Structure 1
């Protein structure tokens, strides 16, 4: 997909990776709708702030009505609560599933006819190395990202005949608020991840592995799961 003159909707564009994606798309000549729950927090030059709360289907459908010229949807908005699956607060589990899986699915369903009607384009889902690696301490987040990985694969097949490619971006730790507690030497630059993501969209790559940790996790998928406690 050619990004020059593309029309992109980027969720969670007011900070972190979303902000870098929006800024780099503008640099590449795209029109950008910078979507956020509070559009007044978007301060990037050259973008059109757009209200979109991924946990609110009505706001998603209204955003699709407003951004009726969209050719690219980037499902970037995400949430990590630290909830475990057994002992964690079920409200937190529900919030992560809604934000990281159900919301992006509703957005994809809402924007697919828009993108198709504009001649086709692409969807990028921002996922995680935890789509494949599921430690107990991040069980809820990992489950939501695993669901979003399955969604990416299934919608890729379903949307291909409609001229829409679907890419999944997998990354471990980025230097953003979400990974504030992670040592600096384990984090990668969100600007670099954004650049890799956009190159992957242009190439139509189904998966984009943005760092070495993620590549190692992907390579280990065929391995035997670790032992369980007796």
Structure 2
């Protein structure tokens, strides 16, 4: 466990990617409700912003996470940032080896791994110049074990889990912590095809910001994440075999 404490939400200046809806929107709302001084809400298209995001009062900025120009412009604009939440994600819902679209995995890696890396590189000097702070990477249970039915998404999230560890080591001397969130099934568009119990995005944001403040390295944010971690620890082969079988199911459900 890092000896560094993470940034306090109260009084912080937070940048959230993928903020238009779902978990990103929840982070915007929760940060503001807990006293953040300012939240920059990054969206792909500033002309296509949800009413829910506009109503938060966050400052909306153009931030297509695969655009080097957008990232550079955001870092130059958000000079007071102390927290970065790498939330934007892509699940192409394709297989990996037997893919119908061979380029899907590359797009997933660009959004889910190379984008957080580029954003971390861009904002680390900004956060350091403001006295230190925190980076939060929103990941998935698919990051902790090969998840066959999540094609290129699982390897990309696993790569970002390692990115979090390396970020902590490199940026710790600058007073910057990094917390990786292991998230289960959440009630968002990405999980709309999954039946059964799904978490409220706001609960994920609450758990994530608390873990950030404590300086946690990783945080299992919900019941599915905790139970998945436990099953993996008890019997890794059985757990991974079970995930593989889900690849051939016509309907996915969070029910046991």
TM-score normalized by structure 2?
0.85
2:56 match: secondary structure: coil
Name 1:209's counterpart in structure 2. 220
Q: Which residue, 154, 159, 174 being the options, matches 2:171?
A: 159
Q: Give 2:32's match in structure 1, choosing from 26, 35, 39.
A: 26
Checking the alignment, whether the CA contact within 8 Å between 1:73 and 1:123 is kept in structure 2 is yes
Partners of 1:127 and 1:148 within 8 A in 2:
yes
Other-structure match for 2:185 = 173
Cα RMSD of the aligned pairs, angstroms, is 1.6
Q: Segments of 4+ in structure 1 off by > 4 A?
A: 226-229
Question: 1: CA distance between counterparts of 2:89 and 2:78?
Answer: 21
SS, match of residue 169 in structure 1: strand
Q: Aligned residue for 1:43?
A: 54
Secondary structure in 2 aligned to 1:124? strand
For 1:50 and 1:116, the matched residues in 2 are separated by 21
User: Do the aligned partners of 2:95 and 2:151 also contact (CA within 8 Å) in 1?
Assistant: yes
The yes-or-no answer on 1:12 pairing with 2:18 is yes
- TM-score, with length taken from structure 1: 0.94
The structural deviation recorded for 1:119 is 0.3
SS at match of 1:8: strand
Is the Cα–Cα contact under 8 Å of residues 167 and 200 in structure 1 kept in the other structure?
yes
Q: Count matched residues.
A: 228
**Structure-2 separation of matches of 1:92 and 1:179:** 18
* Separation of aligned partners in 2, 1:39 and 1:210: 30
The answer as to whether partners of 2:105 and 2:151 remain within 8 angstroms in 1 is no
Deviates more, 1:133-142 or 1:32-41: 133-142
Deviation at 1:182, TM superposition (A): 1.2
Q: Tell me how far 1:39 sits from its aligned partner.
A: 2.4
List runs of 5+ in structure 1 lacking aligned partners. none
Asked if structure 2 preserves the Cα contact closer than 8 Å seen for 1:81 and 1:92, the reply is yes
In 1, Cα distance between equivalents of 2:55 and 2:68: 25
Other-structure match for 2:210: 199
C-alpha separation between the residues in 1 aligned to 2:227 and 2:193? 22
Match of 1:82 in 2: 93
Please give the alpha-carbon distance, in whole angstroms, between the structure 2 residues aligned to 1:115 and 1:33.
14
Match of 1:93 among 88, 92, 105: 105
How much does 1:44 deviate? 3.3
- 1:66-93, Cα deviation, whole Å (9 max, x unpaired): 0011000000000101121111122111
